[in-house]
Amino acid sequence: MTGKPASLLEVRDLTATFHRDGAPSRVVNGISFDIAPGEAVGFVGESGSGKSVTARAVMRLAPEGSSIEWGGRIRFQGQELLSLTEREMRDVRGRRIAMVFQDPMASLNPVMSVGAQIDDMLVRHTGVSTRAARKRTVELLGLVGIRDPAIRADDFPHQFSGGMRQRVLIAISVSCQPDLLIADEPTTALDVTVQAQILRLLMRLRRELGMALMLITHDFGVIAGMVERVYVMHRGDIVESGEVDTLFAAPKHAYTQALLAAVPRIESTRRPA
Amino acid sequence: MTDASSRLRSRGQLLVAIGLAMLAVLLLIVALGPSIAPYSPSATSPNSLDGPTALHWLGTDSIGRDLLSRLIVGGRGTLMITFVAVALALAAGLVLGLLSGYVGGRVDLTIMRLLDVVFAFPVFLLAIAVVAALGPTVKNLILTIAVVYTPAMARVVRGPVLSVKRWDHVEAARSVGVGEFAIALRHVLPLVVSPILVQTSLILANTIFTVTALSFLGLGPPPPDPNWGSMLAEARQFMELAPLTVIGPAVAIVFASLTFIVLANGLREMLDVGSR
């Protein structure tokens, strides 16, 4: 990647402060980063490093039951997201920025058929009729690799395996062809073999739909083949960033080195004592 | 699924089936009412305080009216009041409970404290006070019962809403731009239906008692319209002369409230309420 392309997402001095029982606690300390159109960017860090909160900041989603204060600037396609009203923000969510969550078992409404949940999205954001939406829903389910999509659309979430549910969630999130897809630990809750399938699916969709991808993970193994650039987060700060190959070959920051050293290697001959 | 829970579930289904059959009988009486009653409920005959005969299956009351006819027509009144009142309480409880649980914060605090004021009084005492103050008409009776049962309904809605609104699928819905109103109605409410069904059924059973007890005390719909409570009160006066006249209304009251208790227990076991 040469030069600096025009940014799709431009975040400057982002802060996130939780207010709980009157005592403010800052979990993101003024970080800045960019994502170019169509680019795949990884955010790595341990639990509590602020990477998920950063992802939610872009969607302006506060965890339920908490009050959170955002600071700084988040410019998406030249629009300042932090100054939008909640109603305007609802049009951004799902249509221009979409998100895939960690736990596919819990992220679908258990009492609605999966097809109806995708239909809902399409009707809400594109204003098509329910009938037209269903046609598109079946296409989307096919796109994410669900077999017999026309029949499966009427099934309920409990009739799908974890991997299949994540596929359905991905179908929901790409249904309105967003420009940016945020994936927050999309494979953490899945089997290793299924993880690879889901990652391949995300890669393929990103290519086919020309989306930018913001991939949040604690797993360097997931990052490796997926993204072009990486931001390493630690305690609410970005401690290191760079092209993925450079960073892997020569991590500068001590924390990045420690993270990389924590990845188990198959060729390693060391045994635990 | 474990053996025990599936056994519980099939037992629940049996109870629900029995409850529904009993409910069908009640609904039939409400629907057909006067057309299946052998006599007009106000028609008198010369034989007063008769025991069961071929002409009057349940006997006659102190002025010779047919007890079976009065029981059927009176049941219609009692049950109508019950159903309408509980429907109102359910509607109010759903709105208040959902609002309170979903919005939370000050809204929750305000609504629940106001409901606590109503909840603090014993249901029956409150009902007597309100009906006595407003006057015993059918409309007042319905409104009173709706008001006194609203807090119990709202609480049962609020509790599970508090937990369901934190589930991941709610955040997932929000993340694709679904509005709060739509989330509350489509992604939260459908998940809290089971406890609401059970509670509604239990409140129906209680309401039958409340309605008949108020009528028994003379706070029910004004005479000469028959209803189970006032029939029981009247029969009680002549219990030494005609003990059998008490049985009709007493059995009817027990049957009706038992219907909803059986239904509530069945639903509870079938829908596994409480173990989630």
| Model confidence pLDDT, tens digit, residues A107-160 | 899 989 999 999 988 888 888 888 889 999 999 999 898 999 999 999 999 999
List the single residue in A95, A99, A106 with the smallest CB-CB distance to B167: A106
A108–B169: do the CB atoms touch at under 8 Å?
yes
Judged on CB neighbours under 10 Å (0-12, 13-18, 19+), A88 is exposed
The Cα B16–Cα B206 span in angstroms is 18
Q: How close does chain B come to A267, measured CA to CA in Å?
A: 39
B169–A106: do the CB atoms touch at under 8 Å?
yes
Residue A1 has pLDDT above 50, yes or no: no
Torsion angles phi and psi, residue A14, rounded to 5: -70, 130
Q: Identify the band that residue A3 occupies on the pLDDT scale cut at 50, 70 and 90.
A: very low
Whether residue A213 contacts residue A202, with contact meaning beta carbons closer than 8 Å, is answered with yes
Q: How close does chain B come to A231, measured CA to CA in Å?
A: 23
> What tens-digit pLDDT sequence spans chain B (276 residues)?
567 777 777 888 899 999 999 999 988 887 887 777 777 777 777 777 677 776 777 777 777 778 788 888 888 888 889 999 999 999 999 999 999 999 988 999 999 999 999 888 888 888 888 888 888 888 888 998 999 999 999 999 999 999 898 888 898 888 888 888 989 999 999 999 999 999 999 999 999 988 898 888 888 777 777 888 888 888 888 877 777 778 888 888 999 999 999 999 999 888 876 544
The fraction of chain A above a pLDDT of 70, given in percent, is 95
Lowest mean pLDDT among A7-16, A167-176, B64-73: B64-73
* Chain-centroid distance, C-alpha B149: 10
Name which of B49, B171, B228 is nearest A55 in CA terms. Answer: B171
Element (H, E) at A241: strand A237-243
* Chain-centroid distance, C-alpha B94: 16
Choose from A56, A85, A97, A111 for mutation: most chain B CBs within 10 A.
A111
Q: Who wins on pLDDT, A89 or A222?
A: A89
Chain B residues lying within 8 Å of A99, measured CB to CB:
172, 175-176
Name which of A140, A192, A184 is nearest A163 in CA terms. Answer: A192
Average pLDDT value over all residues in chain A: 86
List the single residue in A64, A121, A125 with the smallest CB-CB distance to B171: A64
Q: Which CATH class is domain A9-261?
A: alpha beta
3-state secondary structure B65-87: EEHHHHHHHHHHHHHHHHHHHHH
Q: What is the pLDDT of residue B264?
A: 92
The Cα A27–Cα A32 span in angstroms is 14
B178–A103: do the CB atoms touch at under 8 Å?
no
Q: How many CB atoms lie within 10 A of CB A218?
A: 18
Is residue A181 helix, strand or coil?
strand
| pTM of the predicted protein model | 0.80
What is the domain partition of chain A in residue ranges?
9-261
Q: List the domains of chain B with CATH numbers.
A: 3-38+57-271 (1.10.3720.10)
